Amino acid sequence: MAVVRRTGTIPQQASTKDAAPQQAQTPGDAETAAVPTMPAHLWAFGVGLALVGGGLLAAWAIWANGPVNTFRATSEGSIFAGLVVVTAAVERVLEPFTRWLPGRAAQHRYDWALAAMENGAGTTAATAKAKADLEQAKADKGIIAWGLATGLATVMSASGGFYLLHMIAENPQWDAVPTWVDSLITGLIVGSGTKPVHDLISRVQQNKEKGQLA
| Per-residue pLDDT tens over the stretch 73-116 | 777 778 888 888 888 889 889 888 888 898 899 999 999 988 88
Asked which of 13-17, 88-92, 188-192 is least confident by mean pLDDT, the reply is 13-17
Mean pLDDT score, 121-131: 86
At 135 the pLDDT is 94
What is the distance between the alpha carbons of residues 78 and 71, in angstroms, rounded to a whole number? 11
pTM of the predicted model, to two decimals?
A: 0.75
The per-residue pLDDT for 120 is 80
% of the chain at pLDDT higher than 90: 32
Phi-psi map region of 103: left, alpha, beta (phi>0 left; psi -120 to 50 alpha): left
CB 46 within 8 A of CB 142: no
DSSP 44: H
pLDDT digits (tens, 9 = 90+) for 193-203: 766 665 666 67
Q: How far apart are CA 140 and CA 132, in angstroms?
A: 13
pLDDT in tens, 132-177: 999 999 999 999 999 999 999 999 999 988 888 888 887 778 888 8
Mean pLDDT of the chain: 81
Burial of 96: CB neighbours in 10 Å, binned 0-12, 13-18, 19+: exposed
User: What is the pLDDT, as a whole number, of residue 201?
Assistant: 60
Write down the pLDDT at residue 50.
Answer: 98
What are the residue boundaries of the structural domains of the chain, listed by start? 39-213
The predicted structure's pLDDT at residue 81? 83
Q: Are 140 and 41 contacting, i.e. CB atoms less than 8 angstroms apart? A: yes
pLDDT of residue 171: 79
- CA–CA gap between residue 64 and residue 180 (Å, rounded): 9
